[in-house]
Structure 1
Amino acid sequence: MLLLNEKHMQQAASMADIMEAVKTAYEIYDKEQFQMDARTHLSHNENTLLLMPCYANQSFGTKIVSVFPHNRSSPVTQGMMILTDGNNGTTKALLNGTYLTGLRTGALGGLAARYLAPDDARSIGLIGTGVQGFYQLAAICLEYPIQDIYLFNRTPEKAIAFSEKIKSHISPHVNIHIKHQPHEIISRADVIVTATTAHTPVLPNDPDLYNGKLVIGVGSFQSNMRELPEELFKKADHLFIDTLDAIQESGDVIDPLKSRWLTESQVIPFSSVVTGKVTPPLSTEKPIIFKSTGMALFDVIAASVIYEKAVEQGIGLKVEL
């Protein structure tokens, strides 16, 4: 078995590699060439343990993730990924699931920007300066020549620390601005990312703020969580989702459908965009929304790519169980 920690994974595969892996996963999803149960949620108070199994491309993948939203000295999201050979049941690798989750979720946002953002996008606004937000910016900056990044966090000190960390992972020509109110970000950004564990919307409920912008929501993964406001859904023509499971899992999909801010026909799996079956109507008069909850298929394909590249390069620690 190969042990791959964060450093090993960074050496083996780049964000660009993972974006292509996620693109492959979308193609597999569209063709239904996988087996995947809905992820298991086990919650105690506000803390959650997730179990995410999947079979695809001759590998089983099982990710175990904990989400502790009040963590301060430890990451909010942590986990491990077990990669199993689909032919003989041998455990091929144990990967750092915390890093894998951030990496592949960032890749989801990067791909959303590739297909849905306006061609002249030059600025990003980020609400929530945690691990997920970091990888979102890293991926989107690969897709567009971003000139300005606007940050908001409820704790300003975290935004300051975040800005210093992200500088070493993006172009030195990008200007980073820390703002004190979300609306200051919305008015300036072409692409808006929400990466929080909020239970109530973190964006202003003003439909005119979002015209022509792409809004990427990656934080809400449970039915009682919501990051996006009512008027945004009412103004949008479509809501693109990374997996149909989001219809049962995320408050950012459940609430708009239940309240009839959107109809079911307006909710479109993003795999249809990746495979060319749907061409998103980009407009300066309407916002575009992409909602990600993640799924185990992304993890198993991304983990397989990292594992294969690590083997090729002789990276990782081999152990016997």
Structure 2
Amino acid sequence: MRIVNEKQLTSLMDMKEIIQRVEVALEEYSSGRTNTPIRTALPYDDEQNTALFMPSVADGLQKIGVKVVTVAPNNKDLGKKLINGFVALSDYKTGEPVAILEGSYLTMIRTGAISGVATKYLAKQNATTLAIIGTGEQAFGLAAAVFATRDITDVHLYNRSKDKAEAFAHKLQHDLSQYVNIHFHDQADDAITHAEIIVTATNSSTPVYSASLRPGTHVNAVGSFRPTMQELPTHTVTDAHKVVVEAVDAALEETGDLITPIENGDYQENQIHGELGKIVSGELSCREHDEEITVFKSVGLAIVDIVVANYFYEKAIETNTGTDVDF
């Protein structure tokens, strides 16, 4: 069995390749060719932390695995990672365990790649400006995916800690593009008014901005993963021409970004445009004109984790990366 740690995963990552794999995974899911239950979320430690269990089988792709992740928001005060976990892969035919891969980096990359697919199909083709609200652990993967699908020249950042925003900006310019222009903002509203693509990646339970979006804006919202968390203001959802999700059932069960507007009577389930996989397959329309406001609300999808993990596993075998253990 191959074990691959975070540093080794980093050396194997090619975001454009991963986005291609994620497109296939999303299409397989929306076509009904996977068995991907809604993830099990178990709050613990007085509901401060969350443990997430996400199995999936893709018969068409002959992949099987499970991701186990814990989210501990108070870890940031301890100088530790917010997200910890692993992905375990098994051989599709024999069921034998073949790999364990570090989960927090993989989660960051798959989260980014899903939003990269959404950006590819829903953002304006000529979009060059990106706003990122929240510069925590997930933000770099999201930025990398947007950079992989659009020619970004300017990034507008808002984070409650300016020091963290500055450290994130340094990483962007070092790892993605030394030529990108970075703009810091004291208010989230100021950041989003300058952007054609917006990414929200926070742990907030209340909306992180209040301003209305400009025509043509695309939003990738990834922070709200509980019914009690509403990262987007209701008007962003109700003003959008298209609201897209990975999995309708999961989104309606897990995210307050949709649950709250629906429960308050401001939005209806049947107004959701549909699943991203159906846009990839051509069954549903993507962006149709430059004035549309589009929203992609992501809650994660286990089959994507498994497909991305398999990508890293195959690369690890090809490059002899990782450690083999007798299990």
**TM-score, normalized by length of structure 2?**
0.94
Structure 1 regions of 5+ residues with no counterpart? Answer: none
Q: Counterparts of 1:9 and 1:237 in 2: how far apart (Å)?
A: 37
CA contact under 8 A between 2:279 and 2:285: conserved in structure 1? yes
CA contact under 8 A between 1:127 and 1:151: conserved in structure 2? yes
Which residue among 261, 264, 267 is the counterpart of 1:259? 264
Q: Does 1:159 align with 2:148?
A: no
Q: 1:60 to 1:108 in 2, by over 3 A?
A: same
What's the CA shift for 1:259?
2.4
1:14 corresponds in structure 2 to 14
What's the CA shift for 1:211?
2.0
CA contact under 8 A between 1:2 and 1:94: conserved in structure 2? yes
1:29 corresponds in structure 2 to 29
2:186 corresponds in structure 1 to 180
Q: Counterparts of 2:252 and 2:99 in 1: how far apart (Å)?
A: 32
Q: Does 1:277 align with 2:283?
A: yes
Q: 1:111-155 CA distances to partner (integer Å, 9 max, x unpaired)?
A: 111111112200100000011111111110111111100110011
Question: SS of the counterpart of 1:240?
Answer: strand
1:238 corresponds in structure 2 to 242
* C-alpha RMSD of matched pairs (Å): 1.4
Which residue among 194, 218, 236 is the counterpart of 2:200? 194
Q: 1:210-264 CA distances to partner (integer Å, 9 max, x unpaired)?
A: 3210011011111111110011122112210011211111111212222233222
Which residue among 19, 34, 51 is the counterpart of 2:53? 51
2:232 corresponds in structure 1 to 228
One-letter amino acid of the structure 2 residue matched with residue 31 of structure 1: S
| Percent of pairs with identical residues | 37
Structural mapping, 1:87-98, within 5 Å: 87-98=93-104
Structural mapping, 1:32-111, within 5 Å: 32-44=32-44, 45-56=47-58, 57-72=61-76, 73-111=79-117
One-letter amino acid of the structure 2 residue matched with residue 84 of structure 1: S
1:117 corresponds in structure 2 to 123
CA contact under 8 A between 2:30 and 2:247: conserved in structure 1? no
What's the CA shift for 1:285?
4.3
What's the CA shift for 1:11?
2.7
Question: SS of the counterpart of 2:283?
Answer: coil
Q: Does 1:149 align with 2:155?
A: yes
In terms of mean alpha carbon deviation, does 90-99 or 15-24 score higher? Answer: 15-24
Q: Counterparts of 1:283 and 1:16 in 2: how far apart (Å)?
A: 25
Count of equivalent residues: 319
Structure 2 regions of 5+ residues with no counterpart? Answer: none
Q: Does 1:287 align with 2:293?
A: yes
Question: SS of the counterpart of 2:54?
Answer: strand
In terms of mean alpha carbon deviation, does 226-235 or 191-200 score higher? Answer: 226-235
Q: Counterparts of 2:232 and 2:13 in 1: how far apart (Å)?
A: 32
Q: Does 1:217 align with 2:221?
A: yes
CA contact under 8 A between 1:282 and 1:288: conserved in structure 2? no
CA contact under 8 A between 1:212 and 1:282: conserved in structure 2? no
Q: Counterparts of 1:309 and 1:284 in 2: how far apart (Å)?
A: 38
Q: 1:75-122 CA distances to partner (integer Å, 9 max, x unpaired)?
A: 211111101112111110000111110000000111111111112200
One-letter amino acid of the structure 1 residue matched with residue 48 of structure 2: E
**TM-score, normalized by length of structure 1?**
0.96
Q: Counterparts of 1:210 and 1:242 in 2: how far apart (Å)?
A: 24
One-letter amino acid of the structure 2 residue matched with residue 201 of structure 1: P
1:320 corresponds in structure 2 to 326
One-letter amino acid of the structure 2 residue matched with residue 51 of structure 1: F
Q: 1:33-72 CA distances to partner (integer Å, 9 max, x unpaired)?
A: 1112221111122210111111113232111101011222
Q: Does 1:248 align with 2:253?
A: yes
Q: Does 1:136 align with 2:142?
A: yes
